[in-house]
Each structure stands twice: as structure tokens, then as C-alpha cells.
Structure 1
């Protein structure tokens, strides 16, 4: 995979995230940040694809983890909810096409194909959910630790003054 392919993936991911942000009536300032996060996440997803170009559960996981992690960091810096950046950033990851293929195979009577594609689709959705949960949990732990250390430092400085 060339650097140009990753750049194109970044542009497509950023465009999709920006378009969805606009549809959700997010402020223009936040659209720019959401587009950057969505583009970076999609570029990581593209880089993590298997050599034959097929998506794996790990590629969904790494891409979604980047989106969720960057969204949590940006939410702390800008002091806005992380959801503003997570939802549009994860739009390119939604395995809607595979879910359509699952339903089409089921309607056509191809039960085995339907089960195979359905399992892969649900695995991808699960990987996205786990990535968001890990990032959110890590963010809360770090926030709690920082708050604890801040309070401890303030208490020690108060004790020294008295």
C-alpha cells in the first residue's frame, strides 16, 4: 500500500465525516476537527487491511480506536463532548454494505453465505464497540488520576502553608 493510497483514504474518510457532521448541524469549527479525526481513523483502517485488501476485525478495531482516542483527547482540550467527534468519525466504519450482503444472501436462500458474512459483520461491529469502550474507559481513568494528583498536590501545598 502506497503513501498516496493512505492519503486518498484520509481524504475519503475526512469527506465522509465532514458531510455527516454537516448533516448533524455541528458547528463549522467542530466539523474541521471531526473531519481530521475521521480521515486519520480511515487511513489507519486502510493501513491495517490485510495484504489482499480484505477487511479484518483488527483493521476495524485499530481504526475505531484511533477515532475514539483522538475524540476523547480533543474533547478534553476543547471541553466539548467526545460524541461530537466520535459519531461522524466512525461513519466510514459502519459495515452497512456487509449487512446488506448478509440480508441479500438470506433472502436468496444462501444460508451458509448469509451466516459467514453476518458473523464477519457482527465481529466488525463488536470490534468498533470494544475500541470505543476501551478508549472511553482509559480516558475516564486518566481524568480520575489527574484529578486525584491535583487534589493531592493542592492538599500538600495547603499543609505546608499552615
Structure 2
């Protein structure tokens, strides 16, 4: 699991270079990708491989990591969230769905495509969930500090 996470960290580092992320943001963005994948592997070991819940929980972790690092490094959250969720994106499943469609296996193509959409939706909901919690807590902190 650790070796696999290191490979993902290197791949996310290369993606960050292509995405023009610079300096320490590049390091922490790629570190987020590696740690997110490590958590996904842990969740999939205990919950089940390719479970929608695993992707959701890993996306929540990725968003929490990104929000914390953005506040520490005073950088926009998108710098870190993109690097953190890149390993979770189900691109291989989408390729397989299109391949099955081209081969004429419509039912198998639709099955893979719906699973891919469910994974993408769970990632989006996980990010929305964690981001909403952070934004709500920041809003209440501002209100409390303003009323003092």
C-alpha cells in the first residue's frame, strides 16, 4: 500500500508540474494525492474494493486536507483539491465504458458508465460535504468574532 501511494504521489507531482503548480504548493499538492490514495486503499481494504463509500470517504479526506493546507499556506483551496482528487478520478472506467460501447457491448458499457457516474458523484458529494462544513464553521467564527 505504501509503495502504491508513493507511485501515486509521483504521478500527482508530474500532474502538478503540467498544471503549473509551483514551489511548496507543488509538494503539498502531490503529498495530498499520495495520502488520499493511501486512505482510499485503507478504506477499500475494510469496506470493499471499488465501493462508492470508499471514494466518498477518500474525497472527504482530500477536501479536509486541502482546506487545512490552503489556510496554512494562504493559497486557494483549488490548488490542493485538484492534486488530492486526481488519483480518485475514474478515468479508466470511463475508457472501459467507451471501449465496450465501440465493441458493441451496450449493456456492459452502460453498466460500467453508471458505476463511473456513481463514483464521480460520490467524489463530488464528498468534496461538497467537507467544503460546506468548513465554510459554515468559518461563517460562524466570523459572526462570533464580529459580535465580541
Distance 2:46 2:28 in 1: 30
Match in the other structure for 2:9: 14
TM-score by length of 1: 0.85
Distance 2:45 2:114 in 1: 18
Match in the other structure for 2:146: 151
Deviation at 1:128, TM superposition (A): 0.7
Query: Which has the greater radius of gyration?
Result: 1
Distance 1:67 1:51 in 2: 19
Q: Is the 8 A contact 1:22 1:31 kept in 2?
A: yes
RMSD over equivalenced CA pairs, Å: 1.6
Q: Is the 8 A contact 2:47 2:54 kept in 1?
A: no
Match in the other structure for 1:57: 52
Match in the other structure for 2:94: 99
Match in the other structure for 2:79: 84
Q: Could you list the per-position Cα deviations for residues 115-134 of structure 1 after superposition, in whole angstroms to 9, with x for gaps in the alignment? A: 11111100000011101111
The answer for unaligned runs of 5 or more in structure 2 is none
Match in the other structure for 1:74: 69
**Correspondent of 1:33 among 21, 28, 37:** 28
Q: Is the 8 A contact 2:9 2:31 kept in 1?
A: yes
The answer for unaligned runs of 5 or more in structure 1 is 154-162
Q: Is the 8 A contact 1:40 1:66 kept in 2?
A: no
Q: Is the 8 A contact 2:59 2:85 kept in 1?
A: yes
Match in the other structure for 2:117: 122
Deviation at 1:53, TM superposition (A): 6.6
Q: Could you list the per-position Cα deviations for residues 24-44 of structure 1 after superposition, in whole angstroms to 9, with x for gaps in the alignment? A: 111121011112211111001
Report runs of 4+ in structure 1 exceeding 6 Å deviation.
none
Q: Could you list the per-position Cα deviations for residues 134-162 of structure 1 after superposition, in whole angstroms to 9, with x for gaps in the alignment? A: 12111110111111121122xxxxxxxxx
Distance 1:115 1:50 in 2: 27
